Structure 1
Amino acid sequence: MPLPLAPLIPLAVRLGLVASTTWAVTRWVRSASHPGRTDQRAEDALDELGEGLSVHKPADRAEDRQTNATARVRRVIRFRGRTWEVDAGLMARLRLRERSE
């Protein structure tokens, strides 16, 4: 007795569409992203940040109206018998300059 395969065709088409869409999106993301790099000077600066939030305007950048901000959170989290250390640091700069065109 032959197996009725016709009811499986819609499922096969849906799975094929999902697989091909996933493959296309993955290729697009890989082609649009770059490998990046790690700058040891930036890593050292992040390691030296103090814990908490800091916002200041450097005196030597007054003409640029530059504002710098730093934030760092260091915590130890225990969950289900495992211990995780969280160390999150952020450095940001906002600079507004007037330009003559």
Structure 2
Amino acid sequence: MALNIPPMAFLALRYGAVAVAGFTAARLARRGRLSPAVEAEMDAAPDGVQLCKSPGQLAAAGKMTRTLQAGPFGPKFRIDGTAIGRLRIKRLT
């Protein structure tokens, strides 16, 4: 049975390039500090997406929590992604 190498090589190169880009970005990122107040606020955010609008400001928050298991008997991992953003527009005269 013949293997179709060119499409497999293309997939390997594409995923390899994504992996190298992610690794490089992780190595070049500066180590920062996160205040405990911000950490507590992210823990308190409910799952889902919330939008809040007030005059001159739009705020959004989103949180997604998932549990993954590596194989039927493998370890379990909980992945928690939280994003908080604000857009404030102020007219200057």
Show the 5 A alignment for 1:18-33.
Answer: 29=28
Instruction: Specify every segment of 5 or more residues in structure 2 that has no aligned partner in the other structure, as ranges.
Output: 1-27
Q: Displacement of 1:79 after TM fit?
A: 1.8
Partner of 1:15: none
Q: Displacement of 1:82 after TM fit?
A: 2.0
Instruction: Point out the structure with the larger helix share.
Output: 1
Partner of 1:83: 76
- Larger Cα Rg: Structure 1 or Structure 2? 1
Partner of 2:47: 51
Q: Tell me, in whole angstroms, the C-alpha distance in 1 between the residues paired with 2:42 and 2:30.
A: 23
Q: Displacement of 1:83 after TM fit?
A: 0.8
Q: Tell me, in whole angstroms, the C-alpha distance in 1 between the residues paired with 2:34 and 2:88.
A: 24
Identity of aligned residues (%): 22
Q: Displacement of 1:50 after TM fit?
A: 0.5
In the alignment of these two chains, the number of paired residues is 65
Show the 5 A alignment for 1:59-78.
Answer: 62=55, 65-78=56-69
* RMSD (Å) for aligned C-alpha atoms: 1.8
Q: Give the structure-1-normalised TM-score.
A: 0.58
Partner of 1:5: none
Instruction: Specify every segment of 5 or more residues in structure 1 that has no aligned partner in the other structure, as ranges.
Output: 1-28
Letter of the aligned partner of 2:51 in structure 1?
V
Q: Tell me, in whole angstroms, the C-alpha distance in 2 between the residues paired with 1:87 and 1:35.
A: 20
SS at match of 1:57: strand
Q: Give the structure-2-normalised TM-score.
A: 0.62
Letter of the aligned partner of 2:44 in structure 1?
E
